[in-house]
């Protein structure tokens, strides 16, 4: 009897050894399949958004968070004024549920792409629409963080129109980002306050900073228009002569523009050419907030 019980127990142990690995394998396979299915569903549920610039893409990411998949037509470091679209851009536009452009003439060259390639049910918004009534020649309204709040509001409303099921999340994300933009405005003002009053004159290669100057009470002079047209040597020399007379130690240029003429003239005038940005790029200015803080610190470092 005892021997029989021992044999039964041994058979049970052997069967258990066979079943347990199979059960564990099935469990791991089910888990992996479930995880893969979950990730695929999450990716598929994201709202597809196409923006004209990387800066607008960053604003969309902040309001849309992980609910959106964003593509910028103009890549980081490229000049929006001279960008040429590609067939791949048409494909991206055709797949988008929401299209975001600036307006005010900044990216109107892409209007034809958007109108021709977008689907009939896609939502298209102008991020600066609420600001266009200012009738200003400078469409770079985002250089004023207070105006950027209005950009974010327009993006929030566009996301809700394209994806009403997630409206509560978009509203919550917007409010959080609005608080960060308010803090940014305060930080910029504090940084610029370290510069003595008679040096608060921003001389730039490209006319993209009038709203920045107006917000913080600065004087601004640019060498070329907001469309980044070419500058002639005469006006540049005249401006730099005034800079030298005023004792301003630096002028500023955006890396995406060819500013060799400016650098040569500045060297002859004995002033430095510092970096400044009007759009989000890779590296130290990979977000709107990073870009604005970089610009303020660049001014403070070179104009004190």
Edge-to-edge strand ranges of the sheet holding 219-224: 219-224, 201-206, 250-253, 272-275
User: How do strand 201-206 and strand 123-126 relate by DSSP bridges?
Assistant: unpaired
Residue-by-residue DSSP string for 36-61: HHHHHHHHHHSEEEEESSHHHHHHHH
User: DSSP class of residue 65?
Assistant: G
CATH class of 45-189: alpha beta
pLDDT in the model for residue 77: 78
Whole-structure pTM value: 0.83
For the ranges 22-31, 97-106, 247-256, 278-287, which has the lowest average pLDDT? 22-31
By the 8 A CB rule, do 298 and 252 touch? yes
Model confidence at 161: pLDDT above 90: yes
Choose between 260 and 65: higher pLDDT.
65
260 pLDDT band, cuts 50/70/90, is: confident
The stretch 273-302 carries a mean pLDDT of: 96
CATH number of 194-303: 3.40.50.1980
pLDDT in the model for residue 237: 77
For the ranges 94-108, 163-177, 243-257, which has the lowest average pLDDT? 243-257
**Tens of pLDDT, residues 63-93:** 999 999 999 999 987 778 678 889 999 999 9
Model confidence at 275: pLDDT above 60: yes
3-state secondary structure of 209: coil
What's the whole-number average pLDDT of the chain? 84
**Euclidean distance between CA atoms 159 and 63, whole angstroms:** 9
53 pLDDT band, cuts 50/70/90, is: very high
User: Phi then psi for 101, rounded to 5 degrees?
Assistant: -125, 170
By the 8 A CB rule, do 269 and 240 touch? yes
pLDDT in the model for residue 236: 75
pLDDT in the model for residue 229: 57
Classify residue 135 as exposed, middle or buried by CB count within 10 Å of its CB (0-12, 13-18, 19+): exposed
pLDDT in the model for residue 37: 39
Whether 45-189 shares its CATH topology with 194-303 is answered yes
Task: Determine the Cα angle at 118 with ends 114 and 123, to 5°.
Answer: 90
Choose between 186 and 304: higher pLDDT.
186
Domain boundaries, the chain: 45-189, 194-303
pLDDT in the model for residue 223: 77
pLDDT in the model for residue 14: 52
Model confidence at 60: pLDDT above 60: yes
**Euclidean distance between CA atoms 165 and 168, whole angstroms:** 8
**Tens of pLDDT, residues 215-256:** 999 999 887 665 555 666 777 777 788 788 888 999 998 887
- Taking Cα atoms as reference points, which of 139, 53, 62 lies closest to residue 99? 53
- Orientation of helix 167-192 relative to helix 288-303, angle to 10°: 0
pLDDT in the model for residue 192: 98
For the ranges 42-51, 136-145, 185-194, 230-239, which has the lowest average pLDDT? 230-239
**Tens of pLDDT, residues 116-150:** 999 999 999 999 999 999 867 899 999 999 999 99
Model confidence at 11: pLDDT above 50: yes
By the 8 A CB rule, do 255 and 276 touch? no
């Amino acid at each position: 009897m005892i021997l029989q019980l021992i044999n039964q127990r041994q058979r049970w142990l052997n069967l258990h050894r066979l079943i347990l690995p199979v059960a564990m394998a099935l469990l791991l396979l089910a888990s992996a399949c479930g995880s893969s299915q979950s990730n695929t569903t999450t990716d598929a549920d994201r709202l597809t958004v196409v923006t004209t610039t990387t800066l607008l893409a960053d604003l969309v990411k902040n309001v849309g968070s992980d609910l959106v998949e964003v593509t910028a037509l103009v890549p980081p470091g490229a000049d929006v004024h001279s960008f040429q679209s590609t067939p791949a851009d048409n494909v991206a536009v055709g797949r988008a549920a929401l299209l975001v452009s600036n307006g005010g003439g900044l990216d109107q060259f892409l209007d034809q792409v958007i109108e021709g390639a977008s689907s009939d049910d896609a939502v298209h918004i102008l991020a600066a629409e609420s600001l266009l009534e200012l009738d200003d020649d400078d469409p770079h309204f985002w250089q004023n963080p207070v105006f950027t709040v209005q950009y974010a509001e327009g993006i929030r409303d566009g996301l809700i129109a394209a994806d009403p099921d997630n409206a509560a999340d978009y509203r919550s994300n917007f409010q959080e980002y609005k608080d960060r933009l308010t803090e940014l405005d305060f930080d910029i003002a504090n940084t610029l306050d370290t510069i003595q009053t008679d040096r608060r004159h921003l001389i730039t290669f490209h006319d993209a900073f009038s709203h920045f100057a107006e917000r913080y009470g600065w004087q601004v002079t640019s060498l070329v228009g907001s469309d980044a047209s070419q500058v002639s040597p005469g006006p540049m020399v005249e401006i730099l002569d005034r800079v030298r007379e005023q004792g301003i130690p630096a002028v500023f240029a955006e890396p995406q523009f060819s500013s060799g003429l400016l650098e040569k003239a500045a060297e002859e005038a004995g002033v430095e050419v510092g970096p400044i940005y009007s759009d989000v790029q890779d590296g130290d200015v990979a977000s709107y907030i990073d870009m604005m803080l970089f610009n303020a610190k660049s001014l403070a470092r070179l104009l004190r």
